[in-house]
A and B are shown apart, each in its own frame.
Chain A
Amino acid sequence: MNRKVLGFLPFLIFVFLCVFLYQGLFGNPRELQTGRLGQAMPSFNLPDLMNEQKRWTEKDLLGDVYLMNVWGTWCPTCIAELGYLTKLREQGVKIVGLYYEQAYDPDFGDNFDIHALREEVQTMLSRAGNPYQFNILDLERSLSLDLGVSGAPETFLVDKSGTILLHHTGDINQRVWRSKFLPALEELRNEN
């Protein structure tokens, strides 16, 4: 190749890169493109974290606008957001926990100590605040998988008809709540 043309190559590559960097600046990297947005909450039948006799299905949740918060005691950010979520509960927001157990892997036939976990969850919630109406235990991660959960914490906003309106990855704080959740709730109120 001609030396002159070759000399321009780095410049051209850089210009190409700049276009993407510019676009990236106005996109939000935390926004995942979830397939579930606007769709119904997937059906499930899972036990309560504190009481395995009690089982929850998606139908139990119909009729309320609620947040489904994926969390675990192993996840520091989840613990950090408990305080703010508790405040939200005090303001009347319904929050349902989807407990995601990380250490346990059913494929390896691990032993699972539900009592130790309950104790740990109790301690944690009494210390940092308990925002949850109840917690669903998703031991096999089936619901998490259906929801497209990629980590914890993640939070879904679901309306009365069970449609998923928002999928937020990362913690919920005042800024996120105001900029993301409040407008969505506002919109919902206007529709009704």
Chain B
Amino acid sequence: MIPEIGYFALVLAMALSLLLCIFPLWGAYTGNLRLMRAAPSLAIGQCLLVFFAFAVLIYITLTDDFTVAYVAHHSSSTLPWYYKVTSTWGGHEGAILLWLVMQSAWTALVAMMSKSLPWVLRARVLGVLGFLGVGFMLYTLWMSSPFERLLPYFPVEGRDLNPLLQDPGMIIHPPLLYMGYVGLSVSFSFAIAALLTGKLDNTWAKWSRPWTMAAWAFLTLGITIGSWWAYAELGWGGWWFWDPVENASLMPWLVATALLHSLAATEKRGVFKSWTVLLAIAAFSLCLLGTFIVRSGIIVSVHAFATDPDRGLYILSFLAVVVGGSLALYATRVAQVHSEGRYRFVSREVGLWLNNIFLVVATLIVLLGTLLPMIHKELGLGSISIGVPFFNQMFAILIVPFAILLGLAPMLRWKQNKLGGLVKKWGVIVALSLVVTATWLFSSYDQVSPLTFMATALAVWITVATASDLLQKISSQSSVMQGLKRLGLSYWAMMLGHVGLAFVIASVTLTSAYSVERAVAMKPGDVAMLNEYQYRFEGVKEIRGPNYSGHAGVVTVLKEGKVVTELYAEKRLYDIGMQFMTEAAIDDGFFRDLYLALGEQLSQGAWSLRIYHKPYVRWMWLGGLLIALAGFIVLGDKRYRRRSEKGIKG
């Protein structure tokens, strides 16, 4: 009975969403204020119903109702309660329901926080969001209901959650990622509403910015945690695999990053208007495309989600309607849009424009790399595979001009800039960056390849340039405190975001260049050396968890004879699926990670072990967190809380 109530709540939610789509859009078209006024309550109503349905799914998972197919396939009675909750989004049906939860929550938030918008615009934004809601709810109800029963023959025990997903990172990774994906639907709705209204002015950009920023920050956080999860859980110390599913999240992120910068130019200077709208459409379209790629199974991925052509066809049709419709609308309206601001070549506008070019090219590379194997095959040219080296090389090339620009552009003013003073300043910064990089690298490592040096120098350059800009901003004021006060939160956020990227670049470079690993066969008492650390194998202990058993290899790590830490690298056998899982032991540090994975049992009490020394790997996620934090800080900026126009713009 209870699952059916959940299903019924979703049916009601879809009915409300349908009204949310029709009433305000029709009202805005005919100028009927009463119809438009219905939108906010409808938005909140459908949100409550979707949340209720989600609560029902969590309830039936917690109570082990294996008559429900979804619970039987993704949970089990021995699963700890927190992983039972996680299992509600560990499978396809539940993941889509989670998407719906986010979608309805964003819609309700927009309804509640858009009171200062003119009714025509507010109604249209909510109407578009309502339309998207209908699309996903119809999908859930029709093809992917998590409430379907396995009656009359149901199993007495569930199949358990995939052990890979039984990790704290996995509890928060999908919700954060979905917050980002779905949040971009708000930017999308603002863009469509603006196109429908025919008024693509600065105010549109101003309203859209905080929503885009929030969505982007969540997306950043989601990707960062996903990468950390892969590192900690997959057991081979990698952090990014250019897998189609990862690419599906990277593409919207790249475009959303471009969108943020372009929105700034549109809001402040009234330039790039039609381009900004296109980016807003593209960002969400790529989210939908990503969903299609991931869920339809047209591309082989290690994420291996269940695939079903019917579902794929539905998502593709929805994609065609939403993206095709909005691009057609864009095509008919764009000719009327005229940018008004004028600017010279050396100006912040051009800096932001270049930023956009780089980010869009990066997106196209990822898109091509992901889809080309499929297109190639459909054209009858045979199977090809595009792998990690392609992406790595392309990004390594792109990051160079991008990082150089990233150091330069924030110092440029709007409209135009005299180059003279800047060139001298840049010269000093370049020299300083080179000195810092040389000191850092040559004091730590015997061998430094030119490429490593250059990439590290780029990260240092961004940091030094950012810091010097900050110093200059402060010193132009009467006192330091005065200067710090004058800087708005947006400026701080920009600094933080850029330095965050510098951390990521440095980490990727140094980890790739200086990671070392050893595969060793060890008996208890054996000692292996790797860099300055000694690893003493103490033996293997039997372990028993709530739903698994296995072995833990105990290793004492010593440095110059002193004990640094004791590591437990586990190899688990999960009871229900009989699946082996490597649970790597990681000693994390600011400057290096020691990473240990237990392999197979060999003869005579020996075990194979893999030891990794990964310098600076943690900076990658630190950088990601800084970037995400930057996004959240902007939301606290005065401009978005009150309707004043103070603070220095970044």
Write the residues of chain A forming the contact surface with B, with a CB cutoff of 8 angstroms: 3-4, 6-8, 10-11, 14-15, 17-18, 20-27, 29-30, 32-33, 73, 76, 79-80, 83, 116, 119-120, 123
A15 touches B324 (CB 8 A): yes
Q: How far apart are the CA atoms of A186 and B292 in the complex, in Å?
A: 35
B330 touches A33 (CB 8 A): no
The 6 closest A-B pairs by CB, nearest first: A7-B334, A24-B298, A11-B327, A8-B331, A7-B331, A23-B378
A150 to chain B: closest CB distance in Å? Answer: 8
B600 touches A120 (CB 8 A): yes
A21 touches B327 (CB 8 A): no
In the complex where A10-B331, A25-B296, A33-B382 touch, is A20 in contact with B580 (Cβ < 8 A)? no
Check: B198 CB closer than 8 A to any chain A CB: no
B278 touches A10 (CB 8 A): yes
Check: B335 CB closer than 8 A to any chain A CB: yes
B324 touches A20 (CB 8 A): no
A11 touches B309 (CB 8 A): no
Residue in contact with B330 in the complex, picked from A10, A26, A80, CB distance below 8 Å: A10
Residue in contact with A25 in the complex, picked from B309, B373, B602, CB distance below 8 Å: B309
Please indicate the chain B residues that have their CB under 8 angstroms from the CB of A83 in the complex.
578
Check: B579 CB closer than 8 A to any chain A CB: yes
Check: B48 CB closer than 8 A to any chain A CB: no
Residue in contact with A22 in the complex, picked from B300, B316, B601, B603, CB distance below 8 Å: B316
In the complex where A3-B335, A76-B580 touch, is A25 in contact with B375 (Cβ < 8 A)? no
In the complex where A10-B330, A25-B298 touch, is A33 in contact with B383 (Cβ < 8 A)? yes
B296 touches A14 (CB 8 A): no
Check: B169 CB closer than 8 A to any chain A CB: no
Please indicate the chain B residues that have their CB under 8 angstroms from the CB of A18 in the complex.
316, 319-320, 324
Q: How far apart are the CA atoms of A8 and B333 in the complex, in Å?
A: 10
Instruction: Please classify the interface of chain B as helix (H, G, I), strand (E, B), loop, or mixed, using the class held by over half of its residues.
Output: helix
Map CB proximity to A onto B372-383 as digits: 1 under 8 Å, 0 otherwise.
011101100011
B378 touches A24 (CB 8 A): yes
Q: How far apart are the CA atoms of A27 and B319 in the complex, in Å?
A: 19
Residues facing A in B291-339 (CB within 8 A) are 292, 296-300, 309, 312-313, 316, 319-320, 323-324, 327-328, 330-335
Check: B141 CB closer than 8 A to any chain A CB: no
Residue in contact with B579 in the complex, picked from A25, A80, A116, CB distance below 8 Å: A80
A7 touches B296 (CB 8 A): no
Specify which of A10, A30, A73, A123 lies most central, judged by the most chain B CB atoms within 10 Å of its CB: A10
B270 to chain A: closest CB distance in Å? Answer: 17
Instruction: Please classify the interface of chain A as helix (H, G, I), strand (E, B), loop, or mixed, using the class held by over half of its residues.
Output: helix
Residue in contact with B327 in the complex, picked from A10, A80, A123, CB distance below 8 Å: A10
Residue of B nearest to A73 (CB): B600
Check: B371 CB closer than 8 A to any chain A CB: yes
A83 to chain B: closest CB distance in Å? Answer: 8
Q: How far apart are the CA atoms of A30 and B299 in the complex, in Å?
A: 8
Residues facing A in B594-633 (CB within 8 A) are 600-603
Residues facing A in B361-396 (CB within 8 A) are 371, 373-375, 377-378, 382-383
B296 touches A11 (CB 8 A): no
Map CB proximity to A onto B561-588 as digits: 1 under 8 Å, 0 otherwise.
0000000000000000011100000000
A35 to chain B: closest CB distance in Å? Answer: 9
Please indicate the chain B residues that have their CB under 8 angstroms from the CB of A33 in the complex.
377, 382-383
Q: How far apart are the CA atoms of A22 and B328 in the complex, in Å?
A: 19
A7 touches B330 (CB 8 A): yes
A29 touches B335 (CB 8 A): no
Q: How far apart are the CA atoms of A73 and B608 in the complex, in Å?
A: 13
Please indicate the chain A residues that have their CB under 8 angstroms from the CB of B274 in the complex.
7
In the complex where A3-B335, A25-B298, A76-B580 touch, is A14 in contact with B316 (Cβ < 8 A)? no
A21 touches B298 (CB 8 A): yes
A21 touches B316 (CB 8 A): yes
A32 touches B334 (CB 8 A): no
A30 touches B602 (CB 8 A): no
Please indicate the chain B residues that have their CB under 8 angstroms from the CB of A30 in the complex.
300
Residue in contact with A20 in the complex, picked from B335, B374, B383, B603, CB distance below 8 Å: B374
Residue of A nearest to B300 (CB): A29
A111 to chain B: closest CB distance in Å? Answer: 13
Please indicate the chain B residues that have their CB under 8 angstroms from the CB of A76 in the complex.
580
A27 touches B327 (CB 8 A): no
Residue of B nearest to A19 (CB): B378
In the complex where A20-B375, A80-B579 touch, is A25 in contact with B313 (Cβ < 8 A)? yes
The 5 listed contacts between A and B (C-beta, < 8 Å) are: A3-B334, A3-B335, A6-B334, A18-B324, A29-B298
Q: How far apart are the CA atoms of A119 and B603 in the complex, in Å?
A: 8
Please indicate the chain B residues that have their CB under 8 angstroms from the CB of A80 in the complex.
579
Please indicate the chain A residues that have their CB under 8 angstroms from the CB of B300 in the complex.
29-30
B320 to chain A: closest CB distance in Å? Answer: 6
A96 to chain B: closest CB distance in Å? Answer: 24
Map CB proximity to A onto B276-289 as digits: 1 under 8 Å, 0 otherwise.
00100110010000
Q: How far apart are the CA atoms of A11 and B326 in the complex, in Å?
A: 9
Please indicate the chain A residues that have their CB under 8 angstroms from the CB of B334 in the complex.
3-4, 6-7
A21 touches B602 (CB 8 A): no
Please indicate the chain A residues that have their CB under 8 angstroms from the CB of B600 in the complex.
73, 120, 123
Q: How far apart are the CA atoms of A10 and B255 in the complex, in Å?
A: 15
A192 to chain B: closest CB distance in Å? Answer: 32
Map CB proximity to A onto B439-458 as digits: 1 under 8 Å, 0 otherwise.
00000000000000000000
Q: How far apart are the CA atoms of A3 and B578 in the complex, in Å?
A: 61
Please indicate the chain B residues that have their CB under 8 angstroms from the CB of A23 in the complex.
378
Please indicate the chain B residues that have their CB under 8 angstroms from the CB of A8 in the complex.
331
A17 to chain B: closest CB distance in Å? Answer: 8
- If A10-B327, A11-B331, A25-B313 are given as contacts, then 4 extra A-B residue pairs at C-beta distance below 8 Å, sorted by A number, are A4-B331, A7-B334, A10-B281, A24-B299
Q: How far apart are the CA atoms of A29 and B312 in the complex, in Å?
A: 14
In the complex where A29-B299, A76-B580 touch, is A20 in contact with B378 (Cβ < 8 A)? yes
Residue of B nearest to A31 (CB): B383
Specify which of B282, B285, B328, B382 lies most central, judged by the most chain A CB atoms within 10 Å of its CB: B328
B383 touches A14 (CB 8 A): no
Specify which of B316, B327, B330, B602 lies most central, judged by the most chain A CB atoms within 10 Å of its CB: B327
